[in-house]
Structure 1
Amino acid sequence: MSETVATDEAARKQGLREELTARRKAMTPDLIDGRGLKVQSRFLASPYYQKARTVALYAPIRGEVPTRDILIAALQDEKIVCYPLSHVHGRILSFRAIKSEAELEPGRLGVREPSNSSDLIPVDQIDLFVVPGLGFTRDGKRLGRGGGYYDATLRAASARSRRVGLAFSDQIVQMMPTNGDDVDMDLVVTEIESYRGLFRDWDFLDT
């Protein structure tokens, strides 16, 4: 990729980030909670969730889709549930498992994360990654906040792992600038419908 093309792509990504951030800021807490319940319910009905044994969740910030209902259901279903830590070695996220919501506490960036007493879960042992994002396309492309940590982590994960993006319908866009570092989702779930991305086989635990 030439320097000019890369610069143009970066500028288009930044413009889209600003637009999608503004959309998210326009959502009220009640709207986020109400729509969030529908997103989580739709996700919990997906075969990706039902087949997974180890699920990586995120603690929502700044208008991201809530995940509390997923956490409660996954613990009741006796799945291993883990969250990323704010301390990153290189570009790959580290994850720790929790057994109750009370084990999440504010980290150094203000995002809730597991305490140091929780068990570390190697990235290659995670079956299903639940991924936040500023925007998604219907075919599974994702726009994050620009750090590239999730993309690097998902590339380092096991080939049998799957990834599902959670979003509000306002975050779905027609087109998105991408490059070779970007990682697509298997499924994008909104409060209105779910969109097939890569949509790889959900019997991933047997592969």
Structure 2
Amino acid sequence: MDKNIIRKKMKEERNKLSNLQKGKLDNSVLQKVIKSEEYNKANSIFIFVSYGSEVDTHRIIKKALEQGKNICVPKVISKEDGMIAVRIHDFSELKSGAYGILEPEDTKFKVKESSIDLCYIPGVAFDKRGGRVGYGGGYYDRFFKKLREDSKKIALAYRFQVLDEVPMEEHDMFIDGIISD
């Protein structure tokens, strides 16, 4: 199946969830994240700030900050320069940025990619081999190349977003795991 068809289909599926269904699924993902070995071992966590019908990461971020984790989130610099990781100390530091997604306004707490232990990443579809279909900008694929080899890349997704196989191109980077409802 073509990536654009997968993107359209998965976004439609996510958008069909009622607030009640989405809340239950998001809570399931939250519980699995905070109980996971990777999360509990990690000191420095990079996590996407959810937008629209994506798996809710706002509660995960707030919980991790409460627990004293070093949390950094993406800040888009430009299409050419991609994105950087910026440490936040409180959720209120996030403001609407590129594409309407919450991100830090300031880059003074830029984090070296080599210091990141764990990444929670978005996408529209995944497979059990580590394949990922993102949103088509290549931001995460370029960011992954800057990480340490042992930095875990874990997708957060709803179960219906995990397919038997997703198309992968030469420049696409694989993920290490998926946490779903």
TM-score norm. by structure 1 comes to 0.81
Match of 1:41 in 2: 31
Match of 1:130 in 2: 120
Q: Deviations over 1:176-206 (max 9, x none)?
A: 1112211222110111xxxxxxxxxxxxxxx
Tell me the secondary structure at the aligned position of residue 137 of structure 2. Answer: coil
Match of 2:175 in 1: 185
Q: Does 1:59 align with 2:49?
A: yes
1:143-154 equivalences under 5 Å are 143-154=133-144
Q: 1:140 aligns with which of 118, 126, 130?
A: 130
Shift of 1:115: 2.4
Counterparts in 2 of 1:155 and 1:138: CA distance versus 1, 3 Å: same
The answer for unaligned runs of 5 or more in structure 2 is: none
Tell me the secondary structure at the aligned position of residue 185 of structure 1. Answer: coil
Tell me the secondary structure at the aligned position of residue 64 of structure 1. Answer: coil
Q: Does 1:173 align with 2:163?
A: yes
8 Å Cα contact 1:98/1:118 also seen in 2: no
Return the alpha-carbon distance in structure 2 between the equivalents of residues 160 and 51 of structure 1: 13
Return the alpha-carbon distance in structure 2 between the equivalents of residues 117 and 176 of structure 1: 34
Aligned length: 181
The answer for unaligned runs of 5 or more in structure 1 is: 1-10, 192-207
1:60-99 equivalences under 5 Å are 60-88=50-78, 90-99=80-89
8 Å Cα contact 1:59/1:83 also seen in 2: yes
Shift of 1:90: 3.1
Tell me the secondary structure at the aligned position of residue 20 of structure 2. Answer: helix
Residue 132 of structure 1 aligns to which amino acid in structure 2? Answer: P
The structure with the largest alpha-carbon Rg is 1
Moved over 4 A (4+): none
Shift of 1:29: 2.7
TM-score norm. by structure 2 comes to 0.92
TM-align CA RMSD? 1.7
Match of 1:194 in 2: none
Return the alpha-carbon distance in structure 2 between the equivalents of residues 98 and 46 of structure 1: 22
Q: Does 1:111 align with 2:101?
A: yes
Return the alpha-carbon distance in structure 1 between the equivalents of residues 47 and 88 of structure 2: 11
Match of 2:4 in 1: 14
Return the alpha-carbon distance in structure 1 between the equivalents of residues 20 and 102 of structure 2: 21
Tell me the secondary structure at the aligned position of residue 83 of structure 2. Answer: coil
Return the alpha-carbon distance in structure 2 between the equivalents of residues 48 and 82 of structure 1: 16
